Amino acid sequence: MEKLKVAVISCGMIANTAHIPAYQYYRDRCELTAVCDLNARTAQQTAERFGIPKWYTNTQQMLEAEKPDLVSVCVPNAFHKETAMLALSHGAHVICEKPVAMNHQDAKELYEEADRRGLMLVACQVIRYYPEYLFAKEMYDQGELGEIYYSEFSLIRRRGVPKWGAFHKKSASGGGVLCDLGVHMIDAALWIMGTKVKSVCGMTSSWLARNEKDVVMSLKESGAPAGVFTRQQYRAEEFEVEEFASGTLRLENGGTMNFKTSWAVNLPPEYSMRLAGTRAGILLPEMKLLGTMGRYQADIEPRVFAEEAPFAQEVFPGHFLLIEGVLDHLQKGTELMITPEQTRHVTAVIEAFYRSAAEQREVLISEIE
């Protein structure tokens, strides 16, 4: 099995704590030969930190010189499309951080280009690989939950605005907490249920991040549990995306999904997903089933052993499993867990959400797809 030549574009937190460590773990199957970042110091320090042979500040120059087989795109959201297109045009398969694009048309064009060139493009919807979501998917597929008619999720940071990069700037990130956190949960829920969204009703707010002064925040609670190596200057007055998002999704299977997610809100921290089915409900991340046994109501909690949760000790275990899946796909021909159709649909949901929030109305997915 020939090793794949790999490069990473942009050397921020997620590259340093997820993509690069994962590639180096699989060094017997791939060789990480170069990294690139617009900031020369950041690129050089990342290369030196991990013993990577070369670093660049120009993406095209790196692609032309290194000719990688596989590229990780870790740039801010607004630059995903152009960077992924550039990598595809140089013959590289692409792993792109989520969301792969901020609207359905851009995602459609990206996948059409990948198909035209016979290349792989996959989005980092990595929480699908977490044990609780794999368990929920298994329970649903086996019929243990029956038909799911109601679902909800909450992913709440009380004060967890990511201040080390350009997350707070619309010109770089395209959106705020929905693109950062909500997209993971929406993708995972739709994947578990095997359904799509029919319409979206959403709202956003942004006040605390722009107006609060001197409130102590934690890097860990802001999404960087391993810290960050380089930080951009953050100014609250430049905050121009949503810090809080909530909404309701009407699903094609007749069900509904309610959600709320935040970087900053005056509510307690929360991480939960609930799925209510005709046979049983399931609580995540607890992996508790709520149903009946005979004529009694019953709660069931499975025993999950450490060996069933590979890379649990890693900061971002999902990236290790995603990259393992990508290597298996490219080297062994196995199927990817994350499909182009699913990813394109999630971008349509994102686009519909922001349109709904802006126009204060329910938006049909058929208006976009």
Residue 52 belongs to domain with CATH number: 3.40.50.720
Residue 279: predicted pLDDT: 97
Residue 232: predicted pLDDT: 87
Asked if 241 and 167 touch (Cβ cutoff 8 Å), the reply is yes
Overall number of domains in the chain: 2
Task: Dig out the tokens for 210 from the structure.
Answer: 């722009």
Whether 133 and 119 share a structural domain: no
Q: What are phi and psi of 203, to 5 degrees?
A: -145, 150
Whether 168 and 290 share a structural domain: yes
Residue 341: predicted pLDDT: 98
Asked if 129 and 183 touch (Cβ cutoff 8 Å), the reply is no
Which residues partner with 296 through β-bridges? 293
Residue 306: predicted pLDDT: 67
312 within domain boundaries: no
Taking the CA atoms of 99, 320, 26 and 13 in sequence, report the sign of the dihedral they define: positive
Domain boundary among 123, 154, 189: 123
Question: In 3D, which of 120, 110, 91 has the Cα closest to residue 334?
Answer: 120
336 within domain boundaries: no
Question: CA separation (Å) from 308 to 135, 185, 235, 286, 303?
Answer: 11, 22, 43, 15, 10
How far apart CA 326 and CA 162 sit, in angstroms, is 28
Asked if 19 and 72 touch (Cβ cutoff 8 Å), the reply is yes
What's the average pLDDT block by block, 10 residues per block, for the chain (369 residues)? 95 97 98 98 98 98 98 98 98 98 97 98 97 96 98 98 95 97 98 98 97 92 92 92 98 97 98 98 98 97 80 93 98 98 98 98 97
The residue range of the domain holding 98 is: 4-123
Residue 230: predicted pLDDT: 87
Question: In 3D, which of 205, 230, 204 has the Cα closest to residue 219?
Answer: 230
159: CATH: 3.30.360.10
pTM: 0.96
Asked if 20 and 71 touch (Cβ cutoff 8 Å), the reply is no
